[in-house]
């Protein structure tokens, strides 16, 4: 099933110059970028994005961190992309992430784990709507699609 997901490269990914390395993995997998924007997240938007963590001990630090510098917000499309991307990202704690995953190859600590990806179709829909307007989402066909999908 072709679906869309929200992906965010966090401030540590931007500062470390890993944008190209991470995006190239998604493209090499055959996923299609639908929207991208580099932005500094306002505190209120960060709090809405991470609302499920409000009240947890790490919440204030998470909000301070995610608003500390630019992030790259993206929407990607592909077959079963939510599940596949979560596997490609690796476990939240990079020390537990398998080699070959984004976090397993590039990250050191949970609080600096480079990337966020939606964990369900419902989360993807909510997160995409938080960061993008409908007119920012591109709908197009790639000529390589028949070589990726039956």
13-72 pLDDT, tens per residue? 999 999 999 999 999 999 999 999 999 999 999 999 999 999 999 999 999 999 999 999
Checking if the pLDDT of 5 tops 90, the result is yes
Checking if the pLDDT of 149 tops 90, the result is no
| pTM of the predicted model as reported, rounded to 2 decimal places | 0.94
C-alpha 136/C-alpha 74 separation (Å) is 10
Task: Sheet with 115-117: list strands edge to edge.
Answer: 32-39, 71-79, 2-9, 115-117
Query: Residue 67 has which token pair?
Result: 């608003």
What average pLDDT does this structure show over 109-117? Answer: 94
C-alpha 36/C-alpha 76 separation (Å) is 9
C-alpha 80/C-alpha 101 separation (Å) is 17
Question: Ramachandran region of residue 142, left (φ > 0), alpha (ψ -120 to 50) or beta?
Answer: beta
What are 70-101's pLDDT values in tens digits? 999 999 999 999 999 999 999 999 999 999 99
CB 102 within 8 Å of CB 10: no
pLDDT bin (cut points 50, 70, 90) of residue 148 is confident
Cα separation values, 121 from 1, 80, 118, 146, Å:
12, 10, 8, 24
What average pLDDT does this structure show over 92-120? Answer: 95
Residues with catalytic roles: 116
Question: Which CATH homologous superfamily contains domain 2-137?
Answer: Nucleoside diphosphate kinase-like domain (3.30.70.141)
Exposure of 12 by Cβ count < 10 A (0-12 exposed, 13-18 middle, 19+ buried)? Answer: buried
| Predicted local distance difference test score (pLDDT) of residue 89 | 98
| Predicted local distance difference test score (pLDDT) of residue 2 | 94
Residue spans of the domains in the chain: they are: 2-137
């Amino acid at each position: 099933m072709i679906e869309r997901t929200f992906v965010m490269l966090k401030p540590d990914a931007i500062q470390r110059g890993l944008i190209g390395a991470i995006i190239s993995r998604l493209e090499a997998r055959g996923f299609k970028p639908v929207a991208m924007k580099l932005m500094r997240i306002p505190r209120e938007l960060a709090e809405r994005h991470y609302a499920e963590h409000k009240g947890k001990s790490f919440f204030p630090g998470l909000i301070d961190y995610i608003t500390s510098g630019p992030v790259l917000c993206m929407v990607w499309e592909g077959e079963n992309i939510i599940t596949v991307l979560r596997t490609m990202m690796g476990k939240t704690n990079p020390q537990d992430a398998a080699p070959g995953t984004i976090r397993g190859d590039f990250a050191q600590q949970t609080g600096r784990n480079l990337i966020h990806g939606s964990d369900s179709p419902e989360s993807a829909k909510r997160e995409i709507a938080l960061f993008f307007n409908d007119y920012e989402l591109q709908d197009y066909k790639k000529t390589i699609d028949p070589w990726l999908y039956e």
